Every structure is written in C-alpha cells, then in structure tokens.
Amino acid sequence: MSQSFVKQRLKAPASADFPYVTDDGVKTSYRGDCTHEVLAYVDSQNSFGAKIRTKYYVKLKNQKGTDDWRLLDIKISE
C-alpha cells in the first residue's frame, strides 16, 4: 500500500520499480492500532530520464476491517 502513496509523488510513476518486502534495504513494522511503517526504496526515472534510487519512509494506517488506508507521514529523500 505504501507504494501507491510514493508513486503519487514521483516524476515518472510508470517507471517505478519497487523491491520485494523481503529484499535487503526494506523494513516494515507494525506499530499497533492498525498502523504500519515502511522504510524502503524505489528505482524510477527523474525529470531528465535517468533511473535513480530514492529512499522513502511511509507511515500509514488501515481503517480496521476495510481496504481504506490513510497516509500519516511520508518522507522521500531526493
């Protein structure tokens, strides 16, 4: 779910390649009360068309019993 919030902020979201949750450099944690944190990276094109790796942190919360997710915090290192 965190990937969709990150894609909304990329220059070229269609070029985004995300790692698997089990890959090195990806950390997820459950903070209780349906809140999750994700620390990961995405490879995507910048405004010049070059593929770059960008690290990100996302904190999100699920509305219990639904498919609705709310973004609580996002940090993308440029």
Query: Could you report the per-residue pLDDT of 28-62, keeping only the tens digit for each?
Result: 999 999 999 999 999 999 999 999 999 999 999 99
Whether pLDDT at 78 is above 90? no
- Length of the chain in terms of residues written: 78
Domain boundaries along the sequence of the chain = 2-76
69: which strand partners? 62
3-class state of residue 19 by DSSP: coil
**What is the CB-side half-sphere exposure of residue 13 using CA atoms within 13 A?**
8
pTM of the model: 0.91
The Cα–Cα gap between 17 and 42 comes to 6
Query: Could you report the per-residue pLDDT of 20-35, keeping only the tens digit for each?
Result: 999 999 999 999 999 9
